[in-house]
Structure 1
Amino acid sequence: MFGLLSLRKTTFVIASAFLLIGAALAVLYFTSPRATLRVTTGLQGTAGEKFINAFVAATKTAHPRVRFEPVPVANAVESSKAMEDGKVDIALVRTDISPPSNGQTVAIMRRDVVAFIVPANSSISDPSGLAGKTVAIPEGPLQQYNSNTLDTILSYFNIAPDKVKRVFLPISEIGLAIHHKQAAAALAVGPVGAGDPEAVVAAIAKATKGAPELLAVDQADAIVKRFPQFESIDVPEGAFKGHPPTPDDTVTCLAVTYRFVVPETMLNVVAGLIGKSIFDTKEKLMAASPIVSQIEAPDTDSKSPLLPIHPGVVSYLSSGNQSFLDSLQQYMYIIGIPLSLFGSLGAVLIGQFRNKKLVTDQQQVYEILVIADAARTADATEVDRLEGELNTLIADCVNKLAKGSTDTSQLPVSSLAIDHARRAIDKRRRDLAAQSGAPVQEAG
């Protein structure tokens, strides 16, 4: 009776402990994460690489339990491939350079204008006028990608790539190439503000002694529908400086974007946390890299099929912190409740197993007591048989103890029963010996 009461208490304690452990593990999982996220570094020496380094440093300070592991890549194509191959959790990609098929947007690092720049009084009024001309492109790690972007835009106007010659030059030489008619226009891809377009405008203005012009792309919306890697952007007056300013009025152009993307299979809560971390650390990152000021949240209403915004980020941006914490709580329930249920079920099974062992051990004690009781009136032959049965039961108890298949709480009871049986057998032997005058042989 007392053994069964003790078992019930033990089962209740174990079940309660598992409930607490399940809830605690779920809370610790989200409030104190220790995760490692692999992120591509961007091309060496580019603004992307500088930003990644600054972001990793700032996030390490803000979230010491989340570690970012930089994964070097040779170029923008490799960055996308690393995402598709599952080698990274976050990749920095440019929308017009082999975007990963399984990527979804977390944040936009910056927008780069695809700027067609011509000298003052040029006869070229839009990109279609580049047919049969030479275009100067700033040399560097992205020169071939920018040339490919030119090919894509020309294809909209049904202009074959070989109809437009291109030369790759240092920015400082592009102005002279334009001035000496070695090139009719320049193509520079970069942000509004400091970047390649502004530097090319300055070089052309210096060499030609005139204010360069930025070609408008009036068909920008139609091009974007056909080629979703582009966006339409309005470049404000004076975006690329100059005197007079370039452009001299707002001009519609095409743009490409650098984006942080994650796999579409990433949990919503994780993608949301990454986005939140980027936006929360923006001010700290600006001190390390000015380009951070251009980071922006993606448009939650965008229906672009290319690198769509991740649902977890949509949820965070649409509902804010409170709803995001509600999502975390739901994940806690999803993990915590099953853990608690499995823990409670485990406690019940353990209890049943221990109850079975207890019944078996008590049955053995009962058999030993029966032997002790039978020994009181047994004859010499019967005493030998009872002693043999007792030795068999003792051997069985020892084997179960060695295997761990007996309830150790019953050992004192079993020991008392065995001692009682031995004494009963020894007493009966002495009584029989006294009656016959033979020497006494002790049990055991």
Structure 2
Amino acid sequence: MSPRSPWQRMLLIVLATVLALVGVGSAGYYFAMRPVTLKIAVGPQAGDDYKLIQALAQVFAREHNTVRLRPVVTDGPAASALALKSGTVDLAVIRGDLPVPKVAQSVAVLHKNVAVLWAPASAAPKGKRKAGKNAGIAGITDLAGKRVGVIGRTEANAGLLNVILQQYGVDPAKVQVLSLLVTDVAEAVRTGKVDALLAAGPLNSKIIGEAVTATAHTGREPVFLSIESSEALAANHPSYEAATIPAGVFGGAPARPDSEVKTVSFSHYIVAREGASDTTIATLTEQLFTARQIVMGEVPLAAKIETPDTDKDAVIPVQPGAAAYVDGEEKTFLDRYSDLIWFSLMGLSLMGSAGAWFASFLRKDERNNTVSQRERLLDMLATARRCNSAEELDAMQTEADAILRDTLNAYENGAIDSAALTAFSIALEQFHNAVADRKLLLVEVSPLPPVRGARPQAV
């Protein structure tokens, strides 16, 4: 085997180690930067929430964002909350006034809904242009014994009506509740099937606007019922907030409503399951507010996305990653991966030390061979000083040349250091001097050869 083979093997090992580290680093970067897809429960499919989440998911995919969304359709916020509780999804869109799973942590306020209560005015007498106010319903307390049409199939709006009634001391059992679709409003008002209506949604909700307009088209102008005790209601029920409906928000002539109306609001939240990655949720929160401007043109409701409440006494505790984004305390790349970088550097150092030891181990035989050759050179030095044969001196000289070649190769391969090479040089110089001196001595003491053809002289 060539004397360079251990060094070559060491180079191959070092090269393989470097390639392995590059491969591990590339794999780590790929897994760290590859998109994370989160399943989000939202419903119903025809609702505004689903349309907004679907639009956000499309923007995330189109922009090649780190976090992607995969909508999972449910029957509504209550079903979405159950899906989050069961662990079948990572995120959910829920209503703040419904039971919130203990595992839920808020990521963002998707939008705020307001309660809109109105009663169709009494029919105008013949020959009159305007209808008078509904004398039977002047306020919330007048709803006792009446029929209230709740727009939407969800039972949550009926629960909202019960909370409002209880705040005013009205027994919900004395109020008949009918579930209506927005397409049923005009017929229900025209036939007297309902005495009042309740809808809940964003102020710019298409459903509320259409329901109010449908009421007006029956010839009975809507009379909006103010919840004057909205602040007291919010104090008794933390999931609600006092709110106002601005004058003229629903358009029409005359303006609907004709003056500001007090009411209550509640929030629709995007919540994450407890234990979700803080880094992932922080990135998602950032993407939400970045994509909001893009989605607004397609889904105006996106303009209502707000940051979550980061107070410790918030109705729904905030997810730490979302709180970090809101408070400007997001971890930088070094903060996130400092431990990994530190352990990687430590691993490289250990691998370097192990590689150096292994390389030294591979050169052990070469070092031992160099030592034995140096001892052989010293033995030849002693032999040369008493050698009587020029041919034997020449043979030792040839062997010394081979030892010199092997020693220089060992020095180049790193098997010996400069001190060992210096010691070898001294021994080699002494050997050469000994051979030269011995050859000179052999020439001086050797008899002259007889001259060919000469006769011996007579004595």
TM over 0.5: yes
Partner of 2:242: 232
Distance 2:36 2:19 in 1: 27
Counterpart pick for 1:317 among 301, 326, 341: 326
Q: 1:327 and 1:231, CA in 2 relative to 1: closer, same or farther beyond 3 A?
A: farther
Partner of 1:138: 151
Q: Which amino acid aligns with 1:247?
A: P
The Cα shift of 1:163 comes to 1.5
Matched, 1:327 2:332: yes
Distance 1:69 1:157 in 2: 43
The Cα shift of 1:241 comes to 1.8
Partner of 1:170: 181
Partner of 1:190: 201
Distance 1:108 1:235 in 2: 19
Q: Which TM-score applies when normalising by structure 2?
A: 0.66
Partner of 1:203: 214
Q: Which amino acid aligns with 1:309?
A: V
Q: Which amino acid aligns with 2:327?
A: S
Structure 1 unaligned blocks of 5 or more: 374-408, 410-444
Q: Which amino acid aligns with 1:275?
A: T
Q: Which amino acid aligns with 2:196?
A: A
**Residues 67-124 of structure 1: CA distance to partner in whole angstroms, max 9, x if unpaired?**
4333233432221122222222221122223333222222222221111112342353
What are the equivalent positions in structure 2 for 1:262-281 lying under 5 Å apart?
262-281=272-291
The Cα shift of 1:186 comes to 0.5
Runs of 4+ with deviation above 4 angstroms: 2-30, 346-352, 355-359
Indicate conservation of the 8 Å contact 1:19/1:340, yes or no. Answer: no
Indicate conservation of the 8 Å contact 1:34/1:67, yes or no. Answer: yes
SS of residue paired to 2:215: helix
Structure 2 unaligned blocks of 5 or more: 122-132, 377-412, 414-459
SS of residue paired to 1:281: helix
Distance 1:131 1:343 in 2: 78
Partner of 1:147: 158
Q: Which amino acid aligns with 2:260?
A: T
Query: Which structure has the highest helix share of the two?
Result: 1
Q: CA RMSD in A?
A: 3.8
SS of residue paired to 1:113: strand
Matched, 1:242 2:285: no
Q: Which amino acid aligns with 1:306?
A: V
Q: Which TM-score applies when normalising by structure 1?
A: 0.68
What are the equivalent positions in structure 2 for 1:344-363 lying under 5 Å apart?
344-345=349-350, 348=353, 354=358, 362=365
Larger radius of gyration: 2
The Cα shift of 1:51 comes to 1.6
Identical pairs, percent: 23
Matched, 1:337 2:342: yes
Distance 2:161 2:175 in 1: 9
Indicate conservation of the 8 Å contact 2:10/2:359, yes or no. Answer: no
Matched, 1:56 2:65: no
What are the equivalent positions in structure 2 for 1:287-306 lying under 5 Å apart?
287-300=297-310, 305-306=314-315
What are the equivalent positions in structure 2 for 1:72-151 lying under 5 Å apart?
72-120=73-121, 121-122=133-134, 123-140=136-153, 142=154, 144-151=155-162
Distance 1:104 1:125 in 2: 41
Indicate conservation of the 8 Å contact 2:244/2:262, yes or no. Answer: yes
